[in-house]
Amino acid sequence: MTEPPAAVPPRLDLELAGHVATIRIVNPARRNAMTNDMWARLPELLDDLAGDAVVRVLVLTGAGGAFCAGADITEVDRLIADGDRNLAVLAEERLARFPKPTLAWIEGDCVGGGCQLAVACDLRFAAEGSRFGVTPARLGIVYPAPTTRRLVALIGPAAAKHLLYSAELIDADRALRVGLVDELHPADRLADRVASFAATLAGRSLLTQVAAKEIVTMAGDGHHDDTRVSYWHRQMAESGEAAEGIAAFVERRRPAFGWSPH
């Protein structure tokens, strides 16, 4: 017998399949809204996965055809009281700093804190019919500064202002146009596309990906660190990763990339 939605405890489920880890947001009674316990649990999961040498890609999604409807409104007082250091911002920051590639798999509503989490991922693949919104103006809440900066960096100031000022929900087509979504697919094809793309990422050089993530982040923050760039070039030379990639290309075989950040 299927468990009724109201009886399902709010939680974050972790699934591991090969080199891909999937964190699934589960709170069907509230369209997968994040409780304070869930916000607190997310950084713990991320730390464990960051240290797992087997995991090369992280997928974040929601259960039951919804991504995440935001923070649980019954617990939002604590988030407001803690300002820019609240549980949601800390979880978002940890997700944005996760060293390996991250992909948001979005179906249904991606609103408020859900959009916050999606924007903190490296890439966002969505189903047709999904809805997106940044909704603090409905509640009189000042959107956190780190979250606002990340949103502006992704979609630009004008599109960010539209979402922040109006709190309107936009459809998936518009989300794709403004750059909030990277790929849009029919709902019945999205799971296969996410699985295929995650497998592609898992087969590429993690050294290239981790280095690129750090350097892209530096560029977005408007600074350049020669020490870190030199570090990544030393890693390339010392790890043999490039030699393996070139040899595999010449020999027309799949490369066996073995570099790990640990």
pLDDT over 70 (residue 190): yes
- The helix/strand/coil state of 112 is coil
pLDDT over 90 (residue 81): no
Query: Residue 80 — very low, low, confident or very high, per pLDDT cuts 50/70/90?
Result: confident
Choice among 93-102, 168-177, 218-227, 229-238 with the minimum mean pLDDT: 218-227
Angle subtended by helix axes 87-96 and 36-50, to nearest 10 = 20
Instruction: Outline where DSSP puts E strands in the chain.
Output: 11-17, 20-26, 57-62, 102-106, 109-111, 123-127, 131-133, 170-171, 183-185
User: Is the distance from CB of 24 to CB of 46 less than 8 angstroms?
Assistant: no
Distance CA 204, CA 170 (A): 34
Percent of the chain with pLDDT over 90: 82
Residue 34 is classified by DSSP as B
pLDDT over 50 (residue 1): no
AA letter at 25 = I
pLDDT over 90 (residue 8): no
Which of 151, 107, 152 minimizes the C-alpha distance to 130?
107
pLDDT over 70 (residue 192): yes
